[in-house]
Chain A
């Protein structure tokens, strides 16, 4: 199973890394999550999910503040992850906290849509 320090993606125009903070994981995203980032994100999020389960995380914080844009394919990666958490037995579920940047206007609608998809699991902070 992955340790948090092994969970990172570094592409020319997109990067992601994970760190553990107590019983929480923090996933920081930056750059441009477009078609070029899709495969990496598809690979990363299940590993983040696995690590969250391994450490019995209370929550995973996803920091979007430095993410310039996310396309629908990458958005779908988050939808699948959230769906996987929602499908867990409630005793194993963890919360997902989405941290947004008010200057990135697309985030308001996209993150709201994710929150509505699993309102009991997702919160949005700015």
Chain B
């Protein structure tokens, strides 16, 4: 695992094709930085889901993506941050999702609840952010500033030092 902090930022108008390209880039890039393939897979999954979320809800189509990897003595921190503009309806829907997640301490148990609800939905899955939290094993937070939405997904990785 690298002992050097790494980061990249991307501002673009994601579409279906570009999202998978970025996911593959994240996976390829961080496999060279982080030994743990499972962590890299979780990062790729989170990046993909968050970008798809942005494609669906960004009011002007533009998304800012930042991924940082900060090595520490005992653990390292991965942060995935997405910023986009959204309309009031989507901001309210996002707030509801985060409020519901905050009421369930067990991400996997809540994931199962969301899956049961999703099974009968005709439109959308309602699973993207819940999946990032449960399968990505990430802590999730969001902030709203006017119509700018920032979603932050973070996870820690045990540091492995070379002998």
Residues in chain B near residue A110, CB distance under 8 A: 135
Interface size on A, residues (CB 8 A): 24
Query: Least Cβ distance of B14 to chain A in Å?
Result: 11
Contact among B20, B116, B118, B134 for A13, CB-based, below 8 A: B20
Given contacts A34-B19, A69-B48, is CB(A117)–CB(B41) below 8 Å?
no
Interface centre among A71, A79, A116 (most CB of B within 10 A): A71
* Distance of A106 Cα from B128 Cα, bound (Å): 14
Contact residues of A between 70 and 89, Cβ < 8 Å to B? 71-73, 75-76, 79-80, 82-83
Whether a CB of chain A sits under 8 angstroms from the CB of B37 is yes
* Distance of A116 Cα from B121 Cα, bound (Å): 19
Stretch of B62-70, B80-88, B107-115, B151-159 contacting A (4+ beta carbons < 8 Å): B107-115
Whether the pair B131, A79 counts as a contact (CB closer than 8 A) is: no
Query: Least Cβ distance of B146 to chain A in Å?
Result: 28
Whether the pair B120, A83 counts as a contact (CB closer than 8 A) is: yes
Residues in chain A near residue B19, CB distance under 8 A: 34-35
Whether the pair B20, A75 counts as a contact (CB closer than 8 A) is: no
* Distance of A56 Cα from B111 Cα, bound (Å): 32
Mark B9-47 against chain A: 1 for CB-CB distance below 8 A, else 0.
000000011011001000000000000011011101100
Whether the pair B16, A113 counts as a contact (CB closer than 8 A) is: no
Whether a CB of chain A sits under 8 angstroms from the CB of B3 is no
Whether the pair B135, A34 counts as a contact (CB closer than 8 A) is: no
Whether the pair A71, B112 counts as a contact (CB closer than 8 A) is: no
* Distance of A117 Cα from B112 Cα, bound (Å): 6
Given contacts A35-B52, A72-B131, is CB(A83)–CB(B119) below 8 Å?
yes
Which residues does B use to contact A, with CB under 8 Å? Answer: 16-17, 19-20, 23, 37-38, 40-42, 44-45, 48-49, 52, 55, 108, 111-112, 115-116, 118-121, 124-125, 127-128, 131, 134-135
Which residues does A use to contact B, with CB under 8 Å? Answer: 13, 32, 34-36, 69, 71-73, 75-76, 79-80, 82-83, 104-106, 108-110, 113, 116-117
A-B pairs, top 6 by smallest CB distance, nearest first, are A105-B41, A76-B125, A83-B119, A109-B135, A72-B127, A72-B128
